[in-house]
């Protein structure tokens, strides 16, 4: 996930997993405006994801691919009659997610709410770059969410794994840094312990290339009135958004920084789906 940080003494490039292990302690608190923009868009996109899931599937299996600190896994846990699988390549990120999600379960129990606890959630290490196939726990999924992950993965590798995870008619919720931003910046953070700017591997995938590669793996965009001609939504930072996203977003006004949307796994990917969900 791209960022714009304060002063740093040097830039270092690390393997993605190692970089995110170092990032985990401050990932949710370092003021990254792209995460804030993603949260804003997810507040609308997640309800569309739920509506697009096969209504006859029960119980459902939902996967958070690249769950990071678990900020969106928590939303999946709110889906009734669903088991949730949270996967990430970074042990550091997964440790933060586990604490967050355990705390949510404890809070729900302490407040007298009905909680399904750990029987509803499975968590595990999974590296898209080194594994040939997804873990058994993540296969035959009704839905997959994957937010701000694709930037770090070659398109063929990413969509091959997603296609292997999803059932026919399954739904992928995908968000990512826009290539307009990626050509200027990339994921990274300032490690306050060392003063170094840490950057993982990053790719500036275009919306067009994402749609094309997804189709090769049987995934087509679900269009509605908010999507563009490619079937995904693109968002630029506006002056009105700066107050909500933070001062570090101001230099990005007028630039596309985010895209996202829903894709469905179909037998015939030659025709784009238009559900109007």
Instruction: Render pLDDT for 108-151 as a digit per residue (tens, 0 to 9).
Output: 666 544 444 557 899 999 999 999 999 999 999 999 999 999 99
Quote the pLDDT of residue 36: 95
Q: Which two tokens stand for residue 47?
A: 């309800």
What is the layout of strands, in order, in the sheet containing 196-199?
Answer: 10-13, 196-199, 189-191
CATH number attached to the domain at 15-265: 3.40.50.150
pLDDT over 50 (residue 103): yes
pLDDT over 60 (residue 203): yes
Q: Name the phi and psi angles at 41, rounded to 5.
A: -70, -35
Q: Which helix (H) or strand (E) holds 3?
A: none
258's CB contacts (< 8 A; 6+ apart) are 34, 37, 38, 41, 175, 176, 177, 178, 181, 234, 235
pTM equals 0.89
Quote the pLDDT of residue 98: 94
222's CB contacts (< 8 A; 6+ apart) are 48, 52, 171, 231, 261, 262, 263, 264, 273, 274, 275, 277
């Amino acid at each position: 996930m791209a960022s714009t940080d304060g002063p740093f003494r040097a830039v270092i490039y690390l393997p993605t997993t190692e970089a995110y292990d170092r990032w985990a302690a401050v990932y949710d608190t370092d003021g990254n405006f792209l995460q804030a923009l993603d949260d804003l868009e997810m507040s609308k996109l997640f309800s569309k994801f739920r509506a697009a899931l096969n209504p006859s599937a029960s119980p459902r299996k939902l996967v958070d691919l690249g769950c990071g600190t678990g900020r969106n896994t928590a939303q999946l846990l709110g889906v009734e009659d669903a088991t949730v699988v949270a996967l990430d390549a970074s042990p550091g990120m997964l440790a933060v997610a586990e604490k967050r999600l355990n705390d949510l379960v404890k809070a729900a129990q302490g407040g007298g709410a009905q909680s399904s606890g750990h029987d509803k959630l499975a968590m595990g290490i999974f590296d898209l770059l080194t594994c040939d196939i997804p873990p058994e726990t993540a296969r035959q999924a009704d839905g997959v969410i994957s937010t701000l992950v694709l930037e770090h993965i070659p398109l063929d590798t990413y969509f091959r794994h997603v296609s292997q995870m999803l059932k026919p008619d399954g739904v992928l919720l995908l968000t990512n840094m826009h290539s307009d931003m990626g050509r200027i910046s990339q994921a990274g953070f300032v490690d306050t312990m060392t003063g170094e700017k840490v950057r993982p591997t990053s790719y500036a995938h275009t919306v067009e290339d994402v749609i094309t590669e997804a189709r090769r793996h049987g995934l087509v965009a679900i269009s509605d009135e908010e999507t563009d001609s490619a079937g995904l939504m693109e968002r630029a930072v506006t002056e009105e958004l700066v107050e909500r996203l933070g001062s570090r977003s101001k230099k990005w006004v007028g630039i596309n920084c985010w895209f996202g949307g829903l894709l469905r796994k179909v037998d015939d990917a030659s025709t784009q789906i238009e559900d109007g969900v």
